Chains A and B, each alone.
Chain A
Amino acid sequence: MNESAFLEYVQSGGQVETGDWMPGDYRAKLIKFIEMHGNSELMGVLPEREWILRAPTLQRKLALTAKVQDEVGHSQLIYRVVEDLGKPREQCLADLISGKAKFHNVFHYPTKTWGDVGVIAWLVDAAAIISQKALLKCSYAPYARIMKKICWEESFHILHGRDVILTLMNGTGEQRELVQEAVTRWWGPLMQFHGNPIAKDEDPMYVWRIKSQGNEEARQQFLDGYVPQIWELGLTVPDPKLRKNDDGVWEYSEPDWGELKHVVTGHGPKTQERLDLRRRMLEQEAWVRTVVLAEAA
């Protein structure tokens, strides 16, 4: 098979296994994309981890702990897929803590209040699930297979997030204020989350059928699914231009692409602090790996 036959194969719905021939560019794009996903799962637990000890009830602590375990588990599954494509997990972690590899913009921001925890689990996870569902038909079959399990677990996260939000909204005025402030804080990063509105036929991730929808399609799906849910609770979104046109397309103010680029290149408000924590942990637990691997050898 050559590159053009391969392209035609994946574009007509064909799937590829680990041992199959694939163009070098396809393999490189897969590694970069899937590694970034793995990094995001691993870094994505940190904003929530900060709230485990401060969660308002025992039930919430347990749910948050379970969610953190899920996300770390996802990163393990995803790094396994990357390893089979040729990049070892140790190398992924080294590139992550050195700042060479990227992770999603939303995980570079602080979790200021319990309202942020709710908004992360509800809206950030909702945005993430839309992206992840577009990977269920990924042309690289081992990735598509683990996405099934990941999406299954994510559905609990969204419900947990909605439950946190509804509880706050049914509480005191102060609690409702907490949610509104968090929605206002997260709106910008949420609108940037699915990336610039590049035409899908020019997006290499779509061309190779690594993902099955374009960036703007994903954002429209997010707006269509969640803006009505935000509005029905009496919450507002900090964008006076936001509205659904008669043709069903959502109109909105241009997201701040400069902020997106600045944040994902290592300049977010919490980027360095969270990478420092990962570095410290890797260093602190190094002896465990040494002992376990020595015993197994």
Chain B
Amino acid sequence: MIWEVFRQEKKGAAFAHAGSVSAPDAVFAEAFAHEQYGRRHESVALWVVPRDAIHEVNDFPDELLKTYHRVDGYSLKAKLKEARERAGTAAD
């Protein structure tokens, strides 16, 4: 059975995928993950998850080009310039 291992490098950090181990059950999987990804104190915590429990989603179509919910949908430079000129606060 294959187990995916996620590790947290320090307290407060996000868990990131580290790799996988092959183990017959959770006890062995935890032991192998501990040796493989934590024995030099490079991790403060691990998540050990059966591969089958992971559902990958990798399709992100954007047919409607929804720029309005992203920062790159807002270009303020020209509008700000105009507004400053209107207010008489534009730098010379």
Contacts and interface: CB of A to CB of B under 8 A. Distances in A.
B24 interface: yes
Contacts of A73: 35-36
A89 B22 contact: yes
A146 B19 contact: yes
Q: Chain A contact residues: over half helix, strand or loop, or mixed?
A: helix
Interface string B39-70: 11000000000000000100000000000000
A80 B19 contact: yes
A286 interface: no
B19 A145 contact: yes
Contacts of B2: 80, 83
Interface residues of B, number: 17
Contacts of A83: 2, 22
A76 B24 contact: no
Interface residues of A, number: 17
A146 B20 CA distance: 10
Nearest to B1: A296
A51 B2 CA distance: 34
Contacts of B22: 76, 80, 83, 89
Interface in B1-49: 1-2, 18-22, 24-25, 28, 32, 35-37, 39-40
B24 A293 contact: yes
A69 B35 CA distance: 9
B24 A80 contact: no
A76 B28 contact: no
Contacts of A296: 1, 24-25, 28
A69 B39 CA distance: 11
Given A73-B35, A73-B36, A76-B36, A292 B28 contact: yes
Interface in A263-297: 292-293, 295-296
A246 to B, nearest CB: 44
Interface of B: 1-2, 18-22, 24-25, 28, 32, 35-37, 39-40, 56
Closest 6 CB pairs of A and B: A296-B24, A296-B25, A292-B24, A293-B24, A80-B20, A73-B36
28 contacts: A19-B56, A69-B35, A73-B36, A76-B21, A76-B22, A76-B32, A76-B36, A77-B19, A77-B36, A80-B19, A80-B20, A80-B21, A80-B22, A89-B22, A145-B19, A146-B19, A149-B18, A149-B19, A149-B37, A153-B40, A292-B24, A292-B28, A293-B24, A295-B24, A295-B25, A296-B1, A296-B24, A296-B28
